[in-house]
Structure 1
């Protein structure tokens, strides 16, 4: 495809579709979004998905590109680290990065609402209750359940993990696709504010109750409540399937999350009334077919354990807008560069997110893991441009995800060797930190 395309359609009015529409509208394109659900601003629904998200550098960078960073940060709660709760209720605060670095707890619904309002303020039309059934790639024509067919110059699929555009692509030749569900699902629970109207636990942290094969986490909200999420196996001896009665739930939580129980007054009711949702990883290629392209979860849905689902989707928008500035219009060269850049990064963050589930539910409570974090913090302080912890590369930097995972693997091999030395637990300060960094650079 060559030449400027004026009329753009986007499937999905979620976070990524809404942000992309603002970027395109600001560049003079006529943009229409087609959303299968009703208007959440009227219905008050967010599709049964996680209520809280962790907004970090990549997402903020994309929001800053459309002038929304400061406005959105007003609705965020900074979380400079994770607070680990052990079985006895002891607390251990682990900073995410350097002083002044933090991730942000933000309401999915509130952020989506703001982005849709901003899109409409820039002239974007959003048509709700438009469920896409099929797509013609060359004419960029979407056919909807209501019988409507809409053609445009270009069509984006920003319609999530079960994308209609990707579903149409899956029926074509030489389209690679995989999806994988992990054995755990998740359920939302609520920790309300105290009777005095304050936070029940420290709001300056993402709280984790790591228990090996499962975990409970909690993120703060502006109304002084916390949204808690139980990540838990679907089946097995310890699982959603095994907790059949309120007595089962009460006994299990009192045994495994004892310090949280007094702070969850609606635990038993919410456990049985709130949905149990699954967690999927999607990989595919190509992302471009004819005059259509995938973006966000439609291209690379990931599990939430690195807090990068929204951030990586926003970075897709950021990269696409950068390329649009470079190429001048949506053409074949831009689209090739877009997918050449983003497919490796989409696959990399998918791998990182799956690994971080193991880290969060298990390793954060491991003494060797805590020691590694201590050593890496010292290395980063001494050699800030040479040794950057993997979490910092992913969350606080502009490293491509594919670069971060490659560099992280190399650093981990060096750390594994250092941690295997006899007596390292009591003698980590005696390490030759310069030699460790030289190993990385050698």
Structure 2
């Protein structure tokens, strides 16, 4: 008996939309992606508009499930630690987890291009320069800027933080959308490789220059360069609005980041040629209306300070795949989808809260001796008691524990550590059995 294969549309050919299309195509669905922009694979590389991405265990699992992990890992650089740079030039390192655990620095554009290639190899049709401008929710129909209309069995909105699908869904059925644009933006700069094409600073580290109300981060690329991101207030004394001239930029960096200046040629040119981009979070109470569902940044955009935006979006794809039938079934979902979405929304909200908190940690605390000592105590206790304590960062980055569970456990751990850090002479006895026993007693 002939069974008609269901047709699914995905609005947005970004990272999550492209990966989701591979999952759905492998399930047997006919999948089309609609992208408002031109095909980025045909454009010259343009720096300045993207933070390097940190691929970690959640994202890797999602790639592994569709057999593309090794291909994606081939464009990554492993990063095992943070390396903090003080104004005086002192360096302090902090491993992310166990010494064999790493996050992986991946260039966004190269990753996106590779995912689109893999989607097409799996039979997905990508329609570029095809902007969705309206939606018929009763008939599962999309209307495009060229006046074309197309009907589908189901539509996923994966069109990012500025999602047109979310906006139209919100007009049709109030999603109670919450948007919080923080008072900090970012600008990208580049440390080029040496004349021999090598890295000129440690490539095994995420470099951080923490300066309380602002910071600089640097992640390595395979070509020997580093992508630098300046996270800076939009307004105020030290802010983007106050760096107006070449001398403003050079004076500011020379004063606040003296060891960074020699690494960036044409600093002021790079600074003024690259745009300032905004940062924020988006939440909504519902991700599904009729046969339309949001995924990724369109429903849970976050700030980049835990490196979980892409990983959470990829995890969406893997989790949705688990509740979707193959294309021969009459129903798209084999389990109650609203129950799944309620749980997922709880977890992505926790992920956003963790990301906002980590902004403060990275900006204000990674240069603080007391904070660094606390992390050393936690790491030592976790090493000796692996079944009793997993540091919060490791739960988020190197495990698949629900984000909300990690948040709850992390709060309990922080309460314990506040008490530990108040112990007299903690800096002298931090690695003693007395401290180990005290933590055990507080669990």
Report the Cα offset of residue 432 of structure 1: 3.9
Matches within 5 A, 1:269-288: 269-288=269-288
5+ residue gaps in structure 1? none
Structure-2 residue corresponding to 1:439: 442
Distance in 2 (alpha carbons) for counterparts of 1:53 and 1:32: 26
| 1:424 corresponds to 2:426 | yes
Change (3 A) 1:326 1:148: closer
Structure-2 residue corresponding to 1:90: 90
| 1:134 corresponds to 2:137 | no
Report the Cα offset of residue 367 of structure 1: 1.2
Structure-2 residue corresponding to 1:339: 341
Does the aligned pair in 1 maintain the 2:48–2:189 contact within 8 Å?
A: no
Structure-2 residue corresponding to 1:196: 196
SS at match of 2:232: strand
Distance in 2 (alpha carbons) for counterparts of 1:45 and 1:193: 17
Structure-1 residue corresponding to 2:394: 392
So what's the TM-score if we normalise by structure 2? 0.95
Report the Cα offset of residue 202 of structure 1: 0.7
SS at match of 1:293: strand
Distance in 2 (alpha carbons) for counterparts of 1:342 and 1:228: 32
Change (3 A) 1:4 1:361: farther
Does the aligned pair in 2 maintain the 1:5–1:330 contact within 8 Å?
A: no
Report the Cα offset of residue 196 of structure 1: 3.0
Report the Cα offset of residue 138 of structure 1: 3.2
Structure-2 residue corresponding to 1:64: 64
Change (3 A) 1:136 1:434: farther
Structure-2 residue corresponding to 1:43: 43
Report the Cα offset of residue 5 of structure 1: 7.0
Distance in 2 (alpha carbons) for counterparts of 1:303 and 1:161: 11
**Cα distance per residue 1:382-404 (max 9 Å; x no partner):** 11122110000000001110110
Report the Cα offset of residue 245 of structure 1: 0.7
Distance in 2 (alpha carbons) for counterparts of 1:264 and 1:47: 14
Larger deviation: 318-327 or 197-206?
Answer: 318-327
Does the aligned pair in 2 maintain the 1:387–1:437 contact within 8 Å?
A: no
Structure-2 residue corresponding to 1:182: 182
Distance in 2 (alpha carbons) for counterparts of 1:314 and 1:362: 30
Does the aligned pair in 2 maintain the 1:206–1:217 contact within 8 Å?
A: yes
Matches within 5 A, 1:344-383: 344-383=346-385
Report the Cα offset of residue 235 of structure 1: 0.6
Structure-2 residue corresponding to 1:408: 410
**Cα distance per residue 1:265-287 (max 9 Å; x no partner):** 02100111110000020011211
5+ residue gaps in structure 2? none
Distance in 2 (alpha carbons) for counterparts of 1:325 and 1:439: 46
SS at match of 2:345: helix
SS at match of 2:189: strand
So what's the TM-score if we normalise by structure 1? 0.96
Larger deviation: 331-340 or 314-323?
Answer: 331-340
Distance in 1 (alpha carbons) for counterparts of 2:16 and 2:410: 28
Report the Cα offset of residue 247 of structure 1: 0.4
Does the aligned pair in 1 maintain the 2:48–2:274 contact within 8 Å?
A: no
Structure-1 residue corresponding to 2:74: 74
SS at match of 1:78: strand
Does the aligned pair in 2 maintain the 1:10–1:31 contact within 8 Å?
A: yes
SS at match of 2:105: strand
SS at match of 2:359: helix
Matches within 5 A, 1:80-159: 80-159=80-159
Does the aligned pair in 2 maintain the 1:51–1:109 contact within 8 Å?
A: no
**Cα distance per residue 1:130-149 (max 9 Å; x no partner):** 11112222322111111111
Larger deviation: 343-352 or 417-426?
Answer: 417-426
**Cα distance per residue 1:395-433 (max 9 Å; x no partner):** 000111011001101111111111112221222123342
Q: RMSD value over aligned CA atoms?
A: 1.8
Larger deviation: 328-337 or 264-273?
Answer: 328-337
Distance in 2 (alpha carbons) for counterparts of 1:47 and 1:169: 33
Structure-2 residue corresponding to 1:294: 294
Larger deviation: 287-296 or 378-387?
Answer: 378-387
Distance in 1 (alpha carbons) for counterparts of 2:122 and 2:95: 39
Structure-2 residue corresponding to 1:215: 215
**Cα distance per residue 1:90-112 (max 9 Å; x no partner):** 11111000021000001111111
Distance in 2 (alpha carbons) for counterparts of 1:132 and 1:419: 55
SS at match of 1:120: helix
